[in-house]
Structure 1
Amino acid sequence: MLSHFFKKVNTRVLAIALAGFSAFLNLYATQSLLPLFSQVFHASKVEVSLTVSATTIAVGLAAPLVGILADVLGRKDVIGAAIFGLSIPTFLTATAPDLDALIGWRFVQGLFIAVIFSVTIAYISEEWADVGVGSAISAYITGNIVGGVLGRFLCGVVADRFSWRLAFVILGCLNLVCVFVVLAWLPRSRNFVRQKNLIASVRAFGMHLRNPRLLAAYAVGFNVLFANVSTFTYVSFYLAAPPFYLGTTALGAIFFVYLLGAVVTPIVGKWLDLIGYRLVLTIAIAAAGVGVMITLVPKLWLVIIGLALGSSGIFVCQSAAKSYVGAVAQEGRSSATGLYVCCFYIGGSLGAILPGFVWSLGGWSACVGLIVLVQLLTGGIALVYWR
Structure 2
Amino acid sequence: MKRRLPTVAGMTEDQARAGRATGAGEPFTGHARGGRGYRRTVVALFAAGVATFAQLYSVQAVLPALAGGLRVDPARAALGVSVATGALALSVLGWSALADRFGRVRVMAASVLLASALGLAVPAAGGLGLLLPLRALQGAALGGLPAVAVAYVAEEVRAADVTRAAAAYVSGTTIGGLLGRLVSSAVADVAGWRAGVLAVGVLGVLASVVFLLVVPPSRGFRRAPRAGRSGPRLRAALADPGLLALYAQGLLLMGAFSTVYNVLGFRLLAEPFGVSQTVVGLLFTGYLAGTVSSAVAGRAAERWGRLPVLLTATAAMAAGVLVTASASLPAVVAGLLLFTAGFFAAHAIASGWTGGRARTGRAQASALYTLAYYAGSSGLGWAGSAVFTAAGWPAVAGFVVLLCALALGCALVLLRSASGRGAGAGWPRSRPRTAAVTSAGCSRPSGEPTRW
TM-score (norm 1): 0.95
State the alpha-carbon separation in 1 of the partners of residues 275 and 131 from structure 2: 24
Structure 2: gaps (5+ residues) = 1-34, 420-452
Residue of structure 2 equivalent to 1:379: 408
- 1:21 is displaced (CA, Å) by 1.8
1:198 and 2:227 correspond: yes
- 1:65 is displaced (CA, Å) by 1.6
- Where 1:131 maps in the other structure, the secondary structure is helix
1:59 and 2:49 correspond: no
Residue of structure 2 equivalent to 1:123: 152
Q: Which amino acid is 1:90 matched to?
A: G
Residue of structure 1 equivalent to 2:5: none
- 1:359 is displaced (CA, Å) by 2.3
State the alpha-carbon separation in 2 of the partners of residues 45 and 267 from structure 1: 35
Which runs of structure 1 show a deviation greater than 6 angstroms over 4 or more consecutive aligned residues? 6-9
Structure 1: gaps (5+ residues) = 1-5
State the alpha-carbon separation in 2 of the partners of residues 106 and 362 from structure 1: 28
Residue of structure 1 equivalent to 2:326: 297
Residue of structure 1 equivalent to 2:434: none
1:19 and 2:48 correspond: yes
Q: What is the root-mean-square deviation of aligned Cα atoms in Å? A: 1.7
Check the 8 A contact 1:285/1:379 in 2, yes or no.
Answer: yes
State the alpha-carbon separation in 1 of the partners of residues 90 and 102 from structure 2: 19
Residue of structure 1 equivalent to 2:248: 219
Residue of structure 2 equivalent to 1:356: 385
Check the 8 A contact 2:324/2:332 in 1, yes or no.
Answer: yes
Residue of structure 2 equivalent to 1:135: 164
State the alpha-carbon separation in 1 of the partners of residues 280 and 272 from structure 2: 14
Post-superposition CA distance 1:159-190 (Å, at most 9, x none): 11113222232222222222222122211112
Check the 8 A contact 1:59/1:345 in 2, yes or no.
Answer: yes
State the alpha-carbon separation in 2 of the partners of residues 9 and 67 from structure 1: 23
Check the 8 A contact 1:68/1:202 in 2, yes or no.
Answer: no
1:308 and 2:343 correspond: no
Larger radius of gyration: 2
- Where 1:187 maps in the other structure, the secondary structure is coil
**1:1-387 counterparts in 2 under 5 A?**
10-128=39-157, 130-386=159-415, 387=419
- 1:295 is displaced (CA, Å) by 0.4
- 1:39 is displaced (CA, Å) by 1.2
- 1:238 is displaced (CA, Å) by 1.1
- Where 1:244 maps in the other structure, the secondary structure is coil
- Where 2:121 maps in the other structure, the secondary structure is helix
State the alpha-carbon separation in 2 of the partners of residues 181 and 318 from structure 1: 25
The 1:187–1:39 alpha-carbon spacing in structure 2 relative to 1, beyond 3 Å, is: same
State the alpha-carbon separation in 2 of the partners of residues 105 and 15 from structure 1: 27
State the alpha-carbon separation in 2 of the partners of residues 230 and 172 from structure 1: 24
Higher-RCO chain (CA-CA 8 Å, sequence separation at least 6): 1
State the alpha-carbon separation in 2 of the partners of residues 161 and 64 from structure 1: 40
State the alpha-carbon separation in 2 of the partners of residues 58 and 301 from structure 1: 36
Post-superposition CA distance 1:123-161 (Å, at most 9, x none): 012122511221111111111111111101111111111
Check the 8 A contact 1:19/1:140 in 2, yes or no.
Answer: no
The 1:251–1:138 alpha-carbon spacing in structure 2 relative to 1, beyond 3 Å, is: same
Check the 8 A contact 2:112/2:141 in 1, yes or no.
Answer: yes
- Where 2:337 maps in the other structure, the secondary structure is helix
Check the 8 A contact 1:75/1:188 in 2, yes or no.
Answer: no
Check the 8 A contact 2:88/2:139 in 1, yes or no.
Answer: yes
Residue of structure 1 equivalent to 2:437: none
Check the 8 A contact 2:38/2:157 in 1, yes or no.
Answer: no
Post-superposition CA distance 1:89-133 (Å, at most 9, x none): 100001101122111111111112110111212101212251122
Post-superposition CA distance 1:325-369 (Å, at most 9, x none): 111112222111111111111111123211233224531000100
- 1:38 is displaced (CA, Å) by 1.6
State the alpha-carbon separation in 2 of the partners of residues 380 and 129 from structure 1: 33
State the alpha-carbon separation in 1 of the partners of residues 276 and 140 from structure 2: 31
Q: Which amino acid is 1:262 matched to?
A: T
State the alpha-carbon separation in 2 of the partners of residues 311 and 299 from structure 1: 18
TM-score (norm 2): 0.82
Post-superposition CA distance 1:299-337 (Å, at most 9, x none): 111101100110110001110110111111122221111
- Where 2:108 maps in the other structure, the secondary structure is helix
Post-superposition CA distance 1:242-266 (Å, at most 9, x none): 0111222111111001111112221
Percent identical pairs in the alignment equals: 32
The 1:372–1:177 alpha-carbon spacing in structure 2 relative to 1, beyond 3 Å, is: same
- 1:17 is displaced (CA, Å) by 1.6
Check the 8 A contact 2:47/2:172 in 1, yes or no.
Answer: yes
- 1:11 is displaced (CA, Å) by 2.7
- Where 1:10 maps in the other structure, the secondary structure is helix
State the alpha-carbon separation in 2 of the partners of residues 181 and 40 from structure 1: 34
- Where 1:190 maps in the other structure, the secondary structure is coil
State the alpha-carbon separation in 2 of the partners of residues 111 and 64 from structure 1: 11
From the two aligned structures, give the one with the greater helix fraction.
Answer: 1
- 1:282 is displaced (CA, Å) by 0.3
- Range moving further from structure 2, 316-325 or 179-188: 179-188
- 1:8 is displaced (CA, Å) by 12
Residue of structure 2 equivalent to 1:3: none
Q: Which amino acid is 1:164 matched to?
A: W
Residue of structure 1 equivalent to 2:4: none
